[in-house]
Amino acid sequence: MLDTVSPPPSSATQPPRKGWLLWPFQTLARRTSQGVAVTFYSLVVLIPLAALFSSAFTHGWGFFWKAATAKEALAAYRLTITCSLLAALTNAVAGLGTAWVLVRDTFRGKAILNALIDLPFALPTVVAGVTFYTLYGPKSPVHLTLTGTWTGITVAIVFVTLPFTVRSVQPVIETMTFNAEAAAATLGASPWRVFRTITLPTLLPAILTGTGLAFARAMGEYGSVVFVSNNLPFRTEVASSYIYSLASAGDPVGAAATAVTMLVMALVVLIAVSVASRRLVKGS
């Protein structure tokens, strides 16, 4: 991360005049830290995922395909993708607005709001689930019952993934200068036109990244959704809950196959978003 923001002086590759004796050690240190990073990532992420893949194909391709495309699984994917997409898009708009206000406006309690944005990350998702059940459950104090509906699932996911767009857009707005916007406004462009032609294109890569992350995270959400979904197979059962039921009912291979399918879908989205935002950056 630091490297992309401010490339460090290339002292590690070119021996400095003084202290040239240290150069091999610096190279060693750099290599070692790279090694540690890759090893850590492998231990924590790659190896478990490789195990998941190998488990999914324990009984061969035929079994995998049958499990991954079981009717109940397809219904669960459809629900999960729809709700995740709606939630990610909601957060793209709401997150942009929130980030904008947090950077460009000054108001009382701004620092507190800024700190609270990350709350959905800090909170156990089950807590979010219980909160939603209390507020939007059958005994809703506001007479709004969303449990057992796709809307309810989407609302829960919106809450859990809110910080993604805010936190990816916020730093970009902070580094943006007013100059171009001010110039456009002086030349008679309407505020909407300034936003559409100058502000939005600058922010789009960050919005895409945040939305992509939110979508990928939403696909796997379990803790909050399981409280509000009512868990009806083919109707309101999300993919993570379906995977849980397979895994806990003695079908680990079926669970792994379904999980791999979800993983691949999330990966495709993340790669697509990454490619799209790179193109946008190059284009501008």
Partner 1 sequence: MKFPRSLAIRIALPLVLATLPIASLVPVSAQASGSTVNVVGYSVVKTIFSKLETAFQATSAGSGVNFSNSFGASDTQTNNVANGQSADLVNLSYTPNIGQLVTAGKVPSDWASQEFSLGGVNVALTGSRQQTTYPTPGILTDSAVVFVVRAGNPLKIGTSWLNLVKPYTTTSGSGKTKVTTKHTYGIVTPNPTTSGSARWNLIAAYAGAIGAGDSSSKAQSYLKSLLTDTVAQPVSGSAALAAFLGGTGDVLLSYEDDALAAVAAGDAVQIIYPSKTILIENPVALTKTGLSNPAAKAFYSFLFSTAGQTILAQNGFRPVLKSVWKTAAGSFHSFGASAMPITTFDPSGWTVLNGQFFDPSSGIVSQLEQSIG
- Taking the complex as a whole, the smallest distance from the CB of residue 148 to partner 1 amounts, in Å, to 6
257 binds partner 1 (CB under 8 A): no
25 binds partner 1 (CB under 8 A): no
Chosen residue from 84, 125, 147, 240 binding partner 1 by CB under 8 A: 147
Chosen residue from 13, 27, 34, 248 binding partner 1 by CB under 8 A: 248
* Residues 52 and 260 sit within 8 Å (Cβ to Cβ): yes
7 binds partner 1 (CB under 8 A): no
- CB nearer partner 1, residue 74 or residue 182: 74
Chosen residue from 198, 219, 246, 269 binding partner 1 by CB under 8 A: 246
**Helices (H), ranges, the chain:** 2-5, 23-41, 47-56, 60-68, 71-104, 110-116, 119-122, 125-136, 150-175, 179-186, 191-194, 200-219, 225-228, 239-248, 252-283
And the tokens for 191? 């505020």
72 binds partner 1 (CB under 8 A): yes
- Taking the complex as a whole, the smallest distance from the CB of residue 22 to partner 1 amounts, in Å, to 11
- Taking the complex as a whole, the smallest distance from the CB of residue 150 to partner 1 amounts, in Å, to 13
Residue 26: CB atoms within 10 A of its CB come to 15
And the tokens for 194? 């300034």
Q: Considering only 35-43, 57-65, 100-108, 233-241, which stretch makes contact with partner 1 by CB under 8 A?
A: 233-241
Give the residue from 212, 238, 247, 214 showing the smallest Cα distance to 77.
238
Chosen residue from 245, 270, 274, 276 binding partner 1 by CB under 8 A: 245
Q: Considering only 70-78, 156-164, 187-195, 266-274, which stretch makes contact with partner 1 by CB under 8 A?
A: 70-78
Coil/strand/helix, residue 123: coil
Handedness of CA 175, 179, 182, 187 (dihedral sign): negative
143 binds partner 1 (CB under 8 A): no
- CB nearer partner 1, residue 137 or residue 163: 137
CA 256 to chain centre: 22
CA gap 84, 158 in Å, rounded: 8
Q: List residues binding partner 1 (CB under 8 A).
A: 26, 29, 70-72, 75, 133, 137-139, 147-148, 226, 230-235, 237, 244-251, 254
